[in-house]
Amino acid sequence: MDMPATHDRLGEYLRAQRARVDPRDVGLRGGGDRRVAGLRREEIAVLAGVSVDYYARLEQGRERNPSPQVLDAIGRALRLSPDARGHLFRLAGLNPALGRDSSRASVHPELLRLLDAFPTSAAYVLSPAFEVLATNGVAAALLSPFAGTANMVRVLFEHPQARSVFPDWPALTENVVHAPRLNAGIFPDDEQIQALVADLREASPAFRSLWEDQTVGGLTRMFKVVHHPDAGRIELTYQTFDVRDAPGQQLLVGTPAPGSRSAEALAYLAAVYAPD
């Protein structure tokens, strides 16, 4: 499935974000004769200080060169988060998009050594398309139910064990779809992201619904529960770090509470799945 043209994606994004804003949150009256969710075009135009015709042209893809000042005003009117605002700018072509870079597909030897510096945590490196590029032994053991599937988005939406291994599957899938959508704006020429999105929009109604929701957001600190078939329930707090010398790569580190049952379970898994 072909990705929409950039100006079409900008219009889709603006319409989706406009529908999310509660009129009462910006001092307007809700309910009444409103026929659509969120704000009307003319309301966003007034809040952003632009003409209704100009804003309509943006949503319709007929205005393709908005200024940074206009987009900044529209972003404030739409109450966008920093990630969402950055995505808006990239869709308009105002942030220089990073081109394809072979460094994103490989992991630096120093980063590989760093993975092993987390002997009691699950640490792994993701590509912009959420391919698992490298793991330490603990992460390999934790992800063992999905052996053979190297993409975490595909794991969540295609693997038969995903919902049993991740009991908080609905919340987890939202985060994992919002982040690749952000990456798709940063790396518009990334063929892995394009292929992933095309495949899953076709194969998974759940993915398609979340993708078309137009929400963007980078991975942040999060609490995750894993129910491993060999070790039971494991609770981890994940931190995410950008890999500065390989734009788009991210290091994820999942750590259990010291002395907890989860820490014992993770140590058990690492021992069971340790290479001979």
Q: Mind listing the pLDDT tens digit for each residue in 179-219?
A: 999 998 888 888 889 999 999 999 999 999 999 888 888 88
Residue 102 falls inside a structural domain = no
Residue 103 falls inside a structural domain = no
Domain that holds residue 151: 109-273
Portion of the chain with pLDDT greater than 70, in percent = 90
Same domain, 170 and 259: yes
Domain count, the chain: 2
Among 92, 122, 142, identify where a domain stops.
Answer: 92
Burial class (CB in 10 A: 0-12, 13-18, 19+), 96: exposed
Closest to 150 in 3D by CA, of 128, 181, 126: 126
pLDDT at 272: 86
Closest to 220 in 3D by CA, of 176, 169, 170: 176
pLDDT at 1: 45
Q: For the sheet containing 122-126, what is the strand order?
A: 132-135, 122-126, 250-255, 232-242, 222-228
Same domain, 61 and 150: no
Residue 99 falls inside a structural domain = no
Residue bearing the bigger pLDDT, 268 or 6: 268
pLDDT interval class at 107 (50, 70, 90): confident
Worst-scoring range by mean pLDDT, 21-25, 221-225, 226-230? 21-25
Length of the chain equals 276
Same domain, 137 and 259: yes
Over residues 13-41, the mean pLDDT reads 78
Task: Give the Å distances, CA to CA, from 223 to 161, 168, 171, 178, 257.
Answer: 20, 10, 11, 17, 11
pLDDT interval class at 105 (50, 70, 90): low
Among 49, 66, 92, identify where a domain stops.
Answer: 92
Residue 84 has pLDDT above 70, yes or no: yes
Residue 253 has pLDDT above 90, yes or no: yes
Torsion of CA 247, 204, 8, 219, to 10 degrees: -30
